[in-house]
Amino acid sequence: MARLVIVSNRTAAPRDRGARAGGLAVGLREALARRGGLWFGWSGDICQENPPAPRIQEAGNIQFATIPLTQADHDDFYVRYANATLWPLCHYRLGLIEFSRSAYEGYLRVNRLFAERLAPLLRPDDLVWIHDYHFFPLAAALRALGVANRIGFFLHIPLPALEVLTALPRHRRLMSDLCCYDLVGFQTGDDLRAFASYLEREGGGTVDADGRFRAFGREGHAGAFPIGIDTATFVELAEAAVDGPHVQRLRESLAGRRLVIGVDRLDYSKGIPQRMESFQTLLEAHPEHRGRVTYMQIAPISRGEVEQYRALRRDLEGWVGRINGRFGEFDWAPVRYLNKAFPRQVLAGFYRYAAVGLVTPLRDGMNLVAKEYVAAQDPDDPGVLVLSRFAGAARSLPQALVVNPFDVEEVGDAIHMALTMPREERRARWNEMMAELRGNTIQSWCESFVARLAAGDTGRQAA
Ligand code: GDG
C-alpha cells in the first residue's frame, strides 16, 4: 500500500503551538496510521530569515514535518491572502475582500517554499493529499519541481458561484493552478457544479458526468466528498460527559431553564450576530419563553490578527449587552457569551444537555458542529437542530429545521418550533439524521478520497 502524505496549514504534530486535536485531525491521523505516513505543515512558529529544513517528529508510524514562516510570509500568505482574500470570497462576502498583488505574490511564494521543503521528503509512489484554500497552487509548484506523484486536493470551504469567483483578481491563474491536481474534492454537489461552470465558462473546458475535467490544457478528476465526524466516538463522549461535573454545574446554573446552544469559531461566516437577533425576535414574538430559556454561545477567538474579526467581536459584545439589558432579570441573563474553547468531551456533554442546537452560518463548507450536536443527543429524548440552508451539512441533514439565516424572524420561529416539538417528531427526525451520520463518518470520508486518488483513473497532465 502506498504511503500517504498529508499537507495542511496546521498539522496535529505533538509539540506544535496552536495545533488542535479536533475531529478532522483525529480522522486524518487514523488514515495516516493505517498506511503509515507523513504530515507536512506550518509549525506555528515565526522565524527571522529563510526557514530551515523541516523539523521532523515521529509518533508511531506517522512522521510530522513542520517548518516555521517569516513574519512577512506569514502575514502575506496566511493573514492577508488566505484569510482576508480567499476566505471572504469563498463565503460570498465580496465587500470584505482586501486584495493586493503583494499579498498574492506572498501566497505564491509560500506555496513555492512548501513545495521546495516537501519535495525532498517524497518517495516516488507516495499519495499526496493537500488540504484547503491555503494551497490552491501547491500541486503546480510541486510539478514545477518535477514531482510526478498522484496529488489530490480537498477544499473544506465552499467554492463560490462563477459570478462571485470571477470577482477575484487573477482568478484564472488560481483556478488553472487548481487544475494541476489529479483529484479535486469538494464538500457538496453545489461546489462541484460551481467548479464545472467555472471551467466551462472561463477555462474553455469540460467536466464529464463522472467528474473528469479538461481545462487550461490539463486533465484530472473532481468529485463531492462530504466530510463526516467520528460518530461512534462522539456518541461515547456525550454519554460519558452528561453525568460529569461540567454538565452538572451547567444544569445547576440553569435552574430548570432550557438551553439553546451555539458553538462556532468567532468568524463572520457563522452568522452569529444574525443568530443573536433571531434569539431576540424569539423573545419578542414568543414571550412565553422569557425567563424559561437561556442561549449559550461558545465562540473561541479566531484569527484575531485580521481586522474584520476584531470588528465582529465588538459587534457581538453590543448584541449581548443589548439583549441582556432589555430582557434580563435579576436572576436570568438570556444570553451567555463565552470567548473560550472547551475540551471536546465537555462540549459533547453541553450539546447533549441542550434542547436546541443553533447552527446558522451565512455560508459554510460543511459545518461539523451540526453533525456533532446530532450525534451527542439522547436517543430517547433528542434535542432539535436548527440548521442554515447555506451550510453544506443541510444537504445531508434535511430532517433538521432548515432555515434561511438572513431571515431572523423565520429563525426565531424555528427556535420556538424546536422548543415545542413533540418527542415523537424529535425522535423521528433524529433517527434519520443519525443513520446518515453512522453511514458517513470521518473515517469513510478519508477512505473514499484516498481510494479514489489511488485508483489511477484520475487523469494527469494532458498531452
Ligand atoms: C472548516 C469549514 C468544514 C469549536 N469550538 C470548540 C471546538 N470546536 C470544534 C468543533 C468542530 C470544529 O471546531 C469546527 O468545525 P466546523 O466544521 O464547524 O467549522 P470550521 O472551523 O470553519 O471548519 C467547515 C470544516 O472545515 C471541515 O471540513 O465543516 O465548513 O469552514 O469540530 O467541535 N472544539 C473544542 N472546543 C471548542 O471550544 N474542543
In a domain, 459, yes or no: no
Atom of ligand 1 nearest to the CA of 364: 30
326 lies in some domain = yes
Spatial strand order in the sheet of 206-207: 55-59, 62-70, 37-47, 4-10, 127-131, 150-154, 183-186, 218-224, 212-215, 206-207
pTM attached to this predicted model = 0.96
Q: Candidates 133, 267, 369: which one to mutate for ligand 1, based on the most atoms within 8 Å of Cβ?
A: 369
Give pLDDT tens digits for 384-438. Answer: 999 999 999 999 999 999 999 999 999 999 999 999 999 999 999 999 999 999 9
Computed over every residue of the chain, the mean pLDDT equals 94
Distance 272 CA to ligand 1 centre (A): 14
Q: Is the pLDDT confidence value at 248 over 60?
A: yes
| Alpha-carbon distance values, 343 to 20, 37, 87, 246, 367 (Å) | 11, 27, 26, 11, 18
Q: What is the dihedral of CA 173, 178, 181, 184, to 10 degrees?
A: -170
Catalytic residue among 182, 230, 264, 364: 364
Q: Is 351 inside a domain boundary?
A: yes
Measure Cα distances from 182 to 38, 60, 105, 454, 455 in Å.
19, 29, 24, 10, 11
**236 & 299 share domain:** yes
Would you say 80 and 104 are in contact if contact means Cβ atoms under 8 Å apart?
no
The answer to whether residue 91 is catalytic is no
Q: Are residues 122 and 245 in the same domain?
A: no
pLDDT band at 29 (very low <50, low <70, confident <90, very high): confident
Which ligand 1 atom is at minimum distance from the Cα of 341?
38
Cα 231 to averaged position of ligand 1 atoms, centre (Å) = 15
Is 364 a catalytic site residue?
Answer: yes
Q: Is residue 460 situated within a structural domain?
A: no
Asked if the model's pLDDT at residue 245 lies above 60, the reply is yes
Same-domain status, 247 and 205: no
> What's the pLDDT band for 62 if we cut at 50, 70, 90?
very high
pLDDT tens-digit readout, 444-457? 999 999 999 999 75
Question: What distance in angstroms lies between residue 100's CA and the mean position of ligand 1's atoms?
Answer: 29
Q: Is 94 found in the same domain as 198? A: yes
Q: Which cell goes with 13?
A: 504534530
17 and 134 in a single domain? The answer is yes
pLDDT tops 60 at residue 459: no
Q: Are residues 310 and 422 in the same domain?
A: yes
Calculate ∠ Cα 370-374-375, nearest 5°. 115
CATH number at residue 344: 3.40.50.2000
Task: Please indicate, yes or no, whether residues 74 and 94 belong to a single structural domain of this protein.
Answer: yes
- Supply the residue whose CA is at minimum distance from atom 27 of ligand 1: 156
Confidence of residue 19 (pLDDT cuts 50, 70, 90): low
Residues 278 and 392 reside in one and the same domain = yes
Nearest protein CA to atom 38 of ligand 1, as residue: 341
Query: For position 23, what pLDDT does the model report?
Result: 61
| Residues 176 and 267 reside in one and the same domain | no
Same-domain check for residues 242 and 116: no
60 and 124 in a single domain? The answer is yes
Q: How far apart are CA 272 and CA 235, in angstroms?
A: 26
Would 77 be classed as within a structural domain? yes
One-letter identity of residue 308? Q
Mean pLDDT within 39-67: 93
Q: Is the CB of 90 under 6 A from ligand 1?
A: no
Q: Note the helical H segments in 79-167.
A: 87-90, 101-118, 138-144, 162-165
Counting from 1 in the atom list of ligand 1, the atom nearest the Cα of 154 is 28
**Alpha carbon of 444 to ligand 1 centroid (Å):** 19
Window from 50-64, 127-141, 261-275, 313-327 with minimum mean pLDDT: 50-64
Q: How many domains does the chain have?
A: 2
Name the CA radius of gyration of the chain, rounded: 22
**Residues 68 and 137 placed together within one structural domain of the fold:** yes
- In a domain, residue 264? The reply is yes
The answer, yes or no, to whether any atom of ligand 1 lies below 6 A from the CB of 132, is: no
Query: Is any atom of ligand 1 closer than 6 Å to the C-beta of 348?
Result: no
pLDDT band at 462 (very low <50, low <70, confident <90, very high): very low
Q: Is residue 369 a part of any domain in this protein?
A: yes
Whether residue 458 is predicted with pLDDT greater than 70 in this model: the reply is no
Mean pLDDT calculated for residue range 279-290: 98
Output the pLDDT for position 20: 60
Q: Which domain holds residue 344?
A: 231-439
The cell numbers describing 213, all together, are 475535467
Domain assignment present for residue 330? The answer is yes
> Can you tell me which atom of ligand 1 is nearest the CA of 227?
28
